[in-house]
Amino acid sequence: MLNFEFKNPTKILFGKGEIAKISTEVPKDAKVLMIYGGGSIKKNGVYNQVKEALKDHDLHEFGGIPANPEYEVLIDALKFIKENNITYLLAVGGGSVIDGVKFLSAAANYEGEPWEILTKPVRTFEGEGMPFGTILTLPATGSEMNSGYVISRRKTNEKLSSGGPGLFPQFSVLDPEVIRSIPKNQIANGIADAYTHVLEQYMTAPSSADLQERIAESILISLQNAAPKVMSEEFDYDAAGNFMWCCTMALNGLIQKGVITDWAVHAMGHELTAYYGIDHARTLAVITPSHYRYNFETKKGKLAQYAERVWGITEGNVEEKAEKAILKMEEFFQSLNIKTKLSDYTQNFNGTAERIEKAFTERNWSGLGENKNLSPKDAFKIVEMSY
Ligand code: NZQ
Ligand code: ZN
């Protein structure tokens, strides 16, 4: 097991009715800005619950953060924060709203041009951000309990990530009731995103970190168990709760401790969203099978372990089990009505691999993957296999 440090300061308030408790979590003397997306919170009652809970606070609001949070919109929010001397941010939404708030938290306490936080050679915000809490409305990203975020800039077709130890939410409310109003395609996205988060931290080489590996496998199995229940028309509170907690646990830092991690699938997937606007989770379902086939030799041991422990496949040698594992994973994505080829999403896919190779070369991203040895040329080949 590798050496590690682990600190996650986010307080979780899990369960039905917990939104009301933000009245005591948000400091009484704060000037609060509630930030939300395109308006789903006004239809499902979450907006009213927040207004009621904070009725004795100095509460302001800024809506309209789009999916794949847009830099230009966030710059408008930043102006609002500065002009109104806001001291506390409250994200009410999915990963896009929470990520947008993390960027604002950093940008509010940053002296230079805000875009630099995402483009500087070390893409980390070193300081302490403006304090913020979150009310999660869409389980998927884990952003509610980590300190990373991803921002898009449509003008330049860029989608870049950053983060920093001073950007954890102070608290996050996880009320499974919010899942009632989520469209099924977004629930599918949430399952596939969280599933891939586990894979990015697990599907490397077999390690000696037995507990982390078994927690990762348990999250995968729990997501598989919850999937048909949360995809069905009938609302199942316990399945919703399991799904929600799996998504948080998949990317709150725990399972990556003491092990090597990959994240090349996300790096390539973010480009597909930047070029074609494909939902984040769907880009992962497109890239992951090709990535595992291309890197079969280095990943086959763990793929076979996943086949055995997660899917109960006991027949065959390591290679045969590993091949079956990739097929089972593809079938799982497809069971969520998520397609696994780039050509399922765009007819303009020719040239995508070249474009990604060029973008990675320009950014000097030459050491992707768990062994930090995948070059932009390797990314080209993986993306081309996913057409
Ligand atoms: O904008 P509103 O009206 O709220 O509608 C949203 C949006 O259209 C809707 N929605 C959310 N909660 C709902 C709901 N609709 C009905 N009922 C509810 N309860 O769902 C749509 C998608 O929301 P979004 O926040 O964009 O989805 P998601 O949570 O999947 O976030 C995706 C973003 O997170 C980034 C992605 O790249 C993408 O930009 N990621 C962030 C990560 C992190 N911070 O750790 C890691 C991930 O790998 C990912 O990259
Ligand atoms: Zn993701």
**Which DSSP symbol is given to 349?**
-
> How far apart, in whole angstroms, are the C-alpha atoms of residue 338 and residue 307?
21
With a 6 A CB cut-off, is 274 part of the ligand 1 pocket?
no
> How far apart, in whole angstroms, are the C-alpha atoms of residue 226 and residue 221?
9
8 Å CB contact between 132 and 93: no
Residue nearest to atom 43 of ligand 1 (CA): 143
Please state, as a whole number, how many other Cβ atoms lie within 10 Å of the Cβ of residue 230: 25
* Ligand 1 atom having least distance to the Cα of 270: 37
With a 6 A CB cut-off, is 150 part of the ligand 1 pocket?
yes
CA–centroid distance, residue 172 to ligand 1 (Å): 15
Closest CA to 284 of 148, 89, 141, 122: 141
With a 6 A CB cut-off, is 266 part of the ligand 1 pocket?
yes
8 Å CB contact between 148 and 163: yes
With a 6 A CB cut-off, is 134 part of the ligand 1 pocket?
no
3-state secondary structure (DSSP) of residue 47: helix
**Which DSSP symbol is given to 103?**
H
What is the CATH topology of the domain spanning 11-178?
Answer: Rossmann fold (3.40.50)
Residue nearest to atom 8 of ligand 1 (CA): 67
Q: Residue-wise pLDDT tens for the chain (387 aa)?
A: 999 999 999 999 999 999 999 999 999 999 999 999 999 999 999 999 999 999 999 999 999 999 999 999 999 999 999 999 999 999 999 999 999 999 999 999 998 899 999 988 667 788 899 999 999 999 999 999 999 999 999 999 999 999 999 999 999 999 999 999 999 999 999 999 999 999 999 999 999 999 999 999 999 999 999 999 999 999 999 999 999 999 999 999 999 999 999 999 999 999 999 999 999 999 999 999 999 999 999 999 999 999 999 999 999 999 999 999 999 999 999 999 999 999 999 999 999 999 999 999 999 998 999 999 999 999 999 999 999
* pTM for this entry: 0.97
Strands 158-163 and 148-153: antiparallel
3-state secondary structure (DSSP) of residue 139: coil
CA–centroid distance, residue 97 to ligand 1 (Å): 7
What DSSP element (H or E) covers 132? strand 132-136
Closest CA to 243 of 184, 330, 327: 184
CA–centroid distance, residue 281 to ligand 2 (Å): 6
Question: Does domain 183-385 bear CATH number 1.20.1090.10?
Answer: yes
What DSSP element (H or E) covers 148? strand 148-153
Domain boundaries, the chain: 11-178, 183-385
> How far apart, in whole angstroms, are the C-alpha atoms of residue 5 and residue 375?
29
CA–centroid distance, residue 190 to ligand 2 (Å): 9
| Integer CA distances (angstroms), 294 to 90, 303, 326, 385, in order | 42, 13, 12, 8
CA–centroid distance, residue 45 to ligand 2 (Å): 27
Residue type at 190?
G
With a 6 A CB cut-off, is 252 part of the ligand 1 pocket?
no
Give the angle subtended at the CA of 135 by the CAs of 134 and 141, to the nearest 5°.
Answer: 80
CA–centroid distance, residue 129 to ligand 1 (Å): 22
Residues with beta carbon < 5 A to ion ligand 2?
193
